[in-house]
Structure 1
Amino acid sequence: MGTKLTPVAFDVETTGFESDSTVTVLGLVLPLGCRVFLNAGGRPADRDRLERELETEFDAVVRVSCHRNERELLAAVAEFVAESIADDDYMLVAYNGELYRGGFDLPFLRTRCALLDCRWPFDGVPYADLLPIFRARFNTTVDEEQVNDLEGAYQALIGDGLTALDPFADSREAVAAFERGEFRPLLAHNLADILRTDALAGVAQRYCGTSEFDLKSLTPTLRDPSLTGR
């Protein structure tokens, strides 16, 4: 079933790794283009300009929405997923987004949703993590060392095209950009990651069998009452 579903690549940017850190950007890649949600932290953000500059830079369709805070961002993501992704032929994919004993993006989002009493955004969506596939089913050895991080796997198997478009070398630079209100490079960093993830999902679908995609449901045991009519 996994390889018959269309992957939706996903990644988040945050202000840190602690439970009281904040989601600053959440990006998704769909067949028609990239959908990026920005937490502007109450500061002005020129959405139209951001879209124009990012579309030119990445040669891709990019749609940006700007939100005053993290709560509004999470609510917007949940609404978008319910309308455009959930209960359809899509699977959410991430690179080290959530594993059996690890991963970052989904556990972080659960904690933030719980602390803010927000609706879980990925109700009705199956999920597959790409890291185990590339760790076990591809040779990504470079200079006698196996590289399994997102950037390393992408460079080993695809090239460095998107790496050249990523303005940051590590997540600390993305945190600093958010604090300074430098939204374009912050969004460019997220776009580079979700497009790398999307490209690797395509490689995995092309060369791996269905069983390699260890699909899990992201639908919670107690669904949001507003969704029971769907």
Structure 2
Amino acid sequence: MPLELVAFDIETTGFEVRDEVTVVGFAVPLGVRVFVQTDGRAAPDVEASVRDRVESHVEVSTHESERVLLEAVGAFAAERLVGSDVLLVAFNGELWRSGFDLPFLRTRLSQRDVEWPFREMPYADLFPVVTNRFNTTDEEGESRSDLAGVYETLCDGQYGDLDPFAESGEAVTAYEDGRFTDLVIHNIADVLRTRELGLLAERYCSKSDFKLKSLTPTRHA
């Protein structure tokens, strides 16, 4: 039986060590689970607002700080992901130019002294699978390597229409402005695009193309 593919993606306040995680999202077969931190700001009815605009089943929780968000992600992973037949995937989570999601997450977890959430599960980065095993050259002759571009080139594009942002950098401004609904929907679009690309790769690529690795740390606290 194939592993259950779970895609994840994070949003942040920037790229530096002191920047924070603002959103963590997971796309599972039955829907999307999203965690968003508000830095203590009021964010009423975010889940209801998101559900009004997203057709997929979505569960959203708001958290007052980055630490509380990271702890909630750990609890979710322990309940939903650890010990089950899950394949965690991200798009360039840890590869090209060192990737983004996993290195950033490790740094923020260590800064907040929160335990690593992803244990006893395999991980595969979709970036090399998709860009090396598919032709991602678009209609203008440009070889696409970004998530939105690769998805638009290879898939039907429905989740691209869902994304309220033209550029991923707009997520920083949205967080600063307190536009949490738009921020969450952007993350949902990204995890759904990532999962669609993972399912596409599963249909047309061999198991060896996925380069699975364990995310279990060598030492527990």
TM-score, with length taken from structure 2: 0.95
Match of 1:23 in 2: 21
* Deviation for aligned residue 1:33: 1.1
* Structure 2 residue 189 is matched with structure 1 residue 159: no
2:206 paired residue among 203, 206, 209 = 209
Which one of the candidate residues 80, 83, 89 is aligned to 1:84?
80
Percent identity of the aligned residues?
Answer: 51
Deviation of 1:138 after TM superposition, in Å, equals: 0.3
The counterpart of 1:33, out of the listed 17, 24, 31, is 31
- The equivalent of 1:150 in structure 2 is 147
Deviation string 1:147-197 (CA, Å, 9 cap, x unpaired) is 111111111111322111111122331111111111000001100100000
- TM-score, normalization by structure 1: 0.92
What letter corresponds to residue 43 of structure 1 in structure 2?
R
Counterpart residue identity of residue 187, structure 1: V
Count of aligned positions: 220
Deviation at 1:98, TM superposition (A): 0.8
For 1:220 and 1:115, the matched residues in 2 are separated by 17
Q: What letter is aligned with 2:78?
A: A
Unpaired runs of 5+ residues, structure 2, are none
SS at match of 1:145: coil
Decide whether the 8 Å contact of 1:123 with 1:223 is kept in 2: no
Gapped runs of 5+ residues in structure 1? 225-230
The 5-angstrom pairing of residues 98-117 of structure 1 reads 98-99=94-95, 102-117=98-113
CA offset digits 1:176-226 (Å, max 9, x no partner): 1111111000001100100000110110011111111111111100124xx
Q: CA deviation at 1:45?
A: 1.4
Aligned amino acid, residue 161 of structure 1: Q
- Residue 31 of structure 1 and its aligned partner are, at CA, apart by 1.6
1:132 to partner: Cα distance: 0.1
User: What is aligned with 1:228?
Assistant: none
Opposite residue 198 of structure 2, the aligned amino acid is A
Deviations 1:50-80 (A, max 9, x none): 2233223221110011111000000000011
Q: Deviations over 1:8-57 (max 9, x none)?
A: 100000000001100000000112210000111101112xx322332232
